[in-house]
Chains A and B, each alone.
Chain A
Amino acid sequence: MKVEVPDQAAGRGNHRKFRWGGRVVLSTLTFTLTCALTTVAAEPPPGMTLIPAGDYTPLLRDKNDLAEIPVAAFWLDERPVANGEFLAFVRANPKWRRSRVSSLFADGQYLTHWTNDLELGPQAPADAPVVHVSWFAARAYAAWAGKRLPTMAEWERAASAGYHGPEAKAEPGFNAQALEWFAAPTPAVFPAAGSGRPNFYGVRDLLDLVWEWVDDFNTAMVTGDSRGAAGNGLFCGGASSGARDPADYAALMRVGYRSSLRANYTVANLGFRCARDAETR
């Protein structure tokens, strides 16, 4: 009996079923057991690493939110998507060329660091993380690759690991290092994606290369949400006073950054990486 894991090239949907490569009649017990083992033992999709199921502790919390948000196991790209990879997507999908893209989906700075529609040029090495991409473009790339964008909870969960364990908080100096990156100017040309030090899960560049889109970036509340102006009305005041862990200033910066974005914005230091469900349903 053979259980195949979703194959990267063919994958389109996020909830792909296992296919059974033989004539098998199984009891429910065997089925359950096999799936459980497979989830753990499956070969990772190329370039992706498994983030095991666990909790994400939101930095900011409304009164009806859980203190810990459960996050199912998922695959995450080990590094951000690079210019060369994004070029392959643009070649295959002409409507995402710089000269053709709708301004609804990407603003005027879309891929502005490329020489032209299909030429990367000196500002955009093929192995450097792609930036100047909108949320729509990132999402379209992910769908094309048979993946999806990670949710904010997934991304933050992956980024909460240190170098040696699942809790960056437990590693002195880790957060300070993340803050140093915020202070550093955006380089004119980025180094290769994947050159950063891997964290505990084997993921690189989460906190020290580019900002990254998440699928639900537009969850941060603005004035006039259904709770009224109290608490979240003025973002900064509400945010810092409600923060669960004010020491994690880097996470707070990310909350603020995401809330400043619109889906068609493109920014010189904003890229993305992809994710994929690890569990079959």
Chain B
Amino acid sequence: MNAIRTLRLLAAAMLATGPILRAADCCCAAGQTATAAAYADRSIYQLDATWTTDAGQPFKLGELRGRPIVLAMFFTSCGYACPRIVSDMAQIRQTLPRAVRDRAVFVLVSFDDERDTVAALHSYRELHELGAQNWILLRGAPGEIRELAAVLGVSYKKDALGQFSHSNLITILNTEGEIIHQRAGLEGGLAEATRAVVASR
């Protein structure tokens, strides 16, 4: 009985049916070291930071490899821009063809390492009805936030009230984690973003 093969098949089956987001799980579950090909030269998955999900689980962006990604940086107490960004992401999702919609992952990474605790992120998920299948909410350490913002080209600054000024940017990553499109600002551009997700393999 080849236990490893069984596990691998099981993991592949789970991946194919969609409930598991992490492509990397299939090899790790089988007890193998990750022997996947090196990341592409422009892949943001080269950032090796360990984030924490709103379920309190560790998460590396590289686990998203193989999926079309729609990603934005935000903070939960943002009153104006972030809710619009999130609802725009939801709208992009709604307009995707069914097959792509089920594979695409929507990622929100917080600027606010102090207030956006696991619990705060989880409440935000519930408040905005962000489904567990397709949305990932992440928090991280200040240096990691700074690095991710740097590769995305996001500027941000915390003010004395603990609020953040920030660029409004929705980034589309292809399956290798390369930036293939960015929607800047809060007006328009959703159709282009949707097309980029569809073309994102």
Q: Which of B44, B151, B157, B167 contacts A224 (CB 8 A)?
A: B167
Q: Which residue of A lies closest to B81 (CB)?
A: A226
Q: Is the interface of A mostly helix, strand, loop or mixed?
A: loop
Determine if A221 and B160 form an interchain contact, defined as CB atoms under 8 angstroms apart: no
CB distance from B110 to the nearest CB of A (A): 14
**Chain A positions within 8 Å of B160 at CB level:** 64-66
A262 proximity list for chain B (CB < 8 A) = 150, 153
Report the minimum CB–CB distance from A232 to chain B (whole Å).
Answer: 8
Contacts known (A103-B42, A224-B167, A227-B165); A219 close to B156, Cβ less than 8 A:
yes
Q: Is the interface on chain B under 10, 10 to 19, 20 to 34, or 35 or more residues?
A: 20 to 34
Instruction: From known contacts A224-B185, A226-B165, infer whether A218 and B46 are also in contact, taking CB-CB under 8 Å.
Output: no
Could you tell me the distance in whole angstroms from the C-beta of B179 to the nearest C-beta in chain A? Answer: 9
Decide if A104 touches B165 in the complex (CB within 8 Å): no
Instruction: Give Cα distance in the complex from A262 to B151, angstroms.
Output: 8
Does any Cβ of A come within 8 Å of B30's Cβ? no
Contacts of B186 in A (CB 8 A): 224
A225-B165 Cα distance, complex, nearest whole Å: 6
The residue of chain A having its C-beta at the shortest distance from the C-beta of B155 within the complex is: A218
Q: Are A220 and B155 touching (Cβ within 8 A)?
A: yes
Report how many A-B pairs have Cβ atoms within 8 Å: 76
What are the residues of chain B within 8 A of A216 when measuring CB–CB? 146, 157
CB-CB contacts of B66-89 with A at 8 A, as 1s and 0s?
A: 000000000000101110000000
Which of B43, B80, B150 is in CB contact (< 8 Å) with A218?
A: B150
Q: Assign chain A's interface to a size class.
A: 20 to 34
A72 within 8 A of B: no
Q: Mark A217-255, 1 if CB is under 8 A from B, else 0.
A: 011111111110000100000000000000000000000
Q: Is the CB of B168 within 8 A of A104?
A: no
Query: Known: A216-B146, A219-B157, A220-B155. Is A102-B46 also a contact (CB below 8 A)?
Result: yes
CA distance A226 to B111 in the complex (A): 13
Q: How far does the alpha carbon of A201 sit from the alpha carbon of B46 in the complex, in Å?
A: 39
Any A CB within 8 A of the CB of B154: yes
Residues of A within 8 A of B (CB): 62, 64-66, 102-105, 135-136, 139, 215-216, 218-227, 232, 259, 262-264
Q: List 30 A-B contacts (CB under 8 A).
A: A64-B163, A65-B160, A66-B160, A102-B42, A102-B46, A104-B43, A104-B44, A105-B46, A136-B150, A215-B146, A216-B157, A218-B149, A218-B153, A218-B156, A219-B157, A221-B155, A221-B157, A221-B165, A221-B167, A222-B167, A223-B185, A224-B184, A224-B185, A225-B81, A225-B167, A226-B78, A227-B165, A262-B153, A263-B147, A264-B151
